[in-house]
Structure 1
Amino acid sequence: MNTKFVAIGSICAFLSVALGAFGAHLLEDRLSPDMLAVYETGVQYQMMHSLGLIALGIAAAFLPSSGKLSAAGWLMLAGIVLFSGSLYVLSLTGVRVLGAITPLGGVAFLISWGLFATAVLTGKKAQ
């Protein structure tokens, strides 16, 4: 098991719950419905990919050491920061140019999932 990615995923999941609660209780009356939806999208993607990091860390126990798994984990974390982070800042500040960063996070997510799948499909069961 790669405890590093399990721990990072757990921290990101914790932050996702905290940010979701913050949005639900403190931002509902302060943001427009459109910007609140943007914020909520950031929270949802952060949680999904936090669970992905945890799954990746657990999968590492069953697969040989792989640069693909490590790259997938770091790209998934980068995706959380770029995708969700840009949506948080966009929704809170209204600075629309930050929306240009969001697709970079999406690409990081896509590549990370592809690497994860490749590592699983090409890896042999650890002994």
Structure 2
Amino acid sequence: MSRSPRRPRAVIDADHLGRLESLAEAASAGLPQVAEPLLSKLATARVVPASRMPGDVVTLNSALTYRDDIRGREQEITLAWPEDADISQGAVSVLTPIGVALLGLPVGASVTWTTRNGQERALTVLRLGVAPVAA
């Protein structure tokens, strides 16, 4: 039996906490497969003021590169608020299974998550970049 890596404790920007909780609660009826993991992550996260957010942690508007550990492919995305999400531009909503999985992870962390169709996936955060500034 293989050991799965220990899930790292998420670090959440205190400025985002209230809005993230509201989004998860609002989504709980229609998207419980996303809302429940998000609420669980927020309940156990280390919440820090924006001025003390570690620079190597995925947060909203973070541009990042991750590796799909099953397929071996690298992907560049920006973690976005739902209204800013646009998959054709690489902006992934925090209200998606992968968005929830990535939120609060430090560079180098690996995590498993379940897609909306029930497939288990694994990814590793490789690096953070600079997100483009919205016009």
Greater C-alpha Rg: 1
Q: TM-score, normalised by structure 2?
A: 0.34
Between the two structures, name the one with larger relative contact order (CA 8 Å, sep ≥ 6): 1
Question: TM-score by structure 1 length?
Answer: 0.35
Decide which structure has greater strand share. Answer: 2
